Amino acid sequence: MTVAGPMLETYPQDLGGVDRERLRACIEACVACAQACTACADACLSEEMVAELRTCIRTNLDCADVCEATGRVLSRHTGYDANLTRAVLEACAAACKACGDECGSHAQMHEHCRICAEACRACERACRELLSSLG
């Protein structure tokens, strides 16, 4: 259970036409993806073939950082800046695409990479859906 929904419901001001459901889904996807990427990077470091997973580890860590930052930006509504929000969502979608592709290339061999790739793809979709609703 996350608190994104209840926090959005209690926000005292209007969100300026932002789709609350897509916003909630995107915040939750960012948090989940950041956790999955962090855990996947750690799991990769524990693999015997760690040298072959260097790019995966780096991509995981970059994606986790971008997702965490995006989730935080999306959680703040006072003084909303649509241009910054769009830029952050684009960056997050790009990081998730890169990480989903990289982890996906290891998914047959490493279950943690398969799970992470799914989380990345879900987050990329959530970012793109929120972006499309911003107009």
- C-beta separation of 31 from 57 below 8 A: no
pLDDT recorded at residue 37: 98
pLDDT recorded at residue 1: 63
Beta carbons within 8 Å of 57's beta carbon, 6+ residues apart: 41, 44, 45, 50
pLDDT tens column, 58-105: 999 999 999 999 999 999 887 778 899 999 999 999 999 999 999 999
pLDDT recorded at residue 123: 98
Map out the domains of the chain with their CATH numbers.
19-134 (1.20.1270.360)
In this prediction, residue 29 has a pLDDT band, given cuts at 50, 70 and 90, of very high
DSSP 17: T
- 59 dihedral zone (left: phi>0; alpha: psi -120 to 50; beta): alpha
DSSP 49-110: TGGGGHHHHHHHHHHHHHHHHHHHHHT--TT--HHHHHHHHHHHHHHHHHHHHHHHTTTTT-
